[in-house]
Structure 1
Amino acid sequence: MGKSATVLGREIGKTGRQMNVLLHRYGYLTGEPGAYSLTDKGEKYGTQEDHYRGNVRSLHYYRQWTTTIWSDETLAALLNDMANAPTPPEPAESFPDDDVTVAEAEPVGATDRGAPDSTGTRVDPRMVAIAAALLVGAKAAQIAAPHAQRWWSETAVPTTSRVLKRLKRQDPSDNDAET
């Protein structure tokens, strides 16, 4: 069964991004974040698959992306490389916060919450999840706004007007008789 870098990372207490940095440093990947490709060494353990999703009416969707699936033996090979290397190899290319991501990674079972951000403060993953949910809700409201506006003007207002007209047309003597 194939595993993503995120799944591999969970097994040793790393994120998917940290795993990709490690795979890059130890020669399994080449390229840069978001555009990695397999090296000859990486092709022994992983496969890449291209995906396409087209929605020509919206520019907000990615139409093409590549996923890398790693074999079950990848983690053992990477850990073996890490154990046998006297010092961690330097990255071939420098990426923003590349060294911080791997060097300051929290161990499994760390008691404090969140990883440090660029200012050195800890970020609570629950707050990140709440912020993401709020952003998704705001985007959904933005997408739904034209539909809601059309429903309001084409359905709600005319129906309300008809009901009000019917109520006004009712005979006032019928209302007096009921009381």
Structure 2
Amino acid sequence: MNELLKLHGYLYGNPGAYGLTEKGQQYAEEKYHSRGTGGYAQYNPSWETRTWSDETSAALKADMEANPGGFEAEDSLTEEEDTSTYEPSTEGIGRGDDDVPQPSWKGLAIGGVVVGALLIAPHVKPFWNNKVKPAAKRLRAGLTKQESVEPTDS
């Protein structure tokens, strides 16, 4: 949608950093937000939001019918000259690069066991002391009582 709005002159900029043009300011309101909690900059994000009016869709539809090529087509830029077009890089995808190690199932299983052990470790000692040891003592006491209770022949 942002690319369409940019193509017809409502936005300028690149993905992640768009702004309103004069034409876009007629149809949208832009607000600046900041958490501003103090401390380090990474803990204080700021961002802008745009709220488009209901008339935007009608205006955009009229622009699309009047100029199907968009606002940038009027600038007579060819695709080779236009450097503002965003295209994701496909470099390295699907080539089977040998220098990138692939995880094996064995490595993943070992990693899972290690993570599981780290998560369970804090619970093992209390379980041993509060459940297993008392149960073993009761079982031992029960077995020793049975041995001493056996009748003797007189």
TM-score strictly above 0.5: yes
Q: How far does the alpha carbon of each residue in 1:127-149 deviate from its partner, in whole angstroms, 9 at most, with x for none?
A: xxxxxxxxxxxxxxxxxx7xx94
Does structure 1 residue 158 correspond to structure 2 residue 125?
yes
Identity of aligned residues (%): 36
Residue 136 of structure 2 is matched in structure 1 by 168
Residue 94 of structure 1 is matched in structure 2 by 84
Q: TM-score, normalised by structure 1?
A: 0.48
CA distance in 1, matches of 2:141, 2:125: 27
Shift of 1:64: 2.1
CA distance in 1, matches of 2:140, 2:21: 86
CA distance in 1, matches of 2:68, 2:46: 39
The one-letter code sitting in structure 1 at the alignment partner of 2:126 is: T
**What is the aligned length?**
110
Which consecutive residues of structure 1, in runs of 5 or more, have no partner in the other structure? Answer: 1-18, 99-117, 119-144
The alpha-carbon distance between structure 1 residues 63 and 25, as it changes in their structure 2 partners (threshold 3 A), is same
Q: How far does the alpha carbon of each residue in 1:17-71 deviate from its partner, in whole angstroms, 9 at most, with x for none?
A: xx111111111111111111111111110011223347879x6x88222221100
Of 22, 27, 48, 2:4 maps to 22
Does structure 1 residue 66 correspond to structure 2 residue 34?
no
Cα root mean square deviation, aligned: 3.6
Q: TM-score, normalised by structure 2?
A: 0.55
Q: How far does the alpha carbon of each residue in 1:110-141 deviate from its partner, in whole angstroms, 9 at most, with x for none?
A: xxxxxxxx6xxxxxxxxxxxxxxxxxxxxxxx
Q: How far does the alpha carbon of each residue in 1:145-174 deviate from its partner, in whole angstroms, 9 at most, with x for none?
A: 7xx94x6343x1222111221122115352
CA distance in 1, matches of 2:141, 2:16: 75
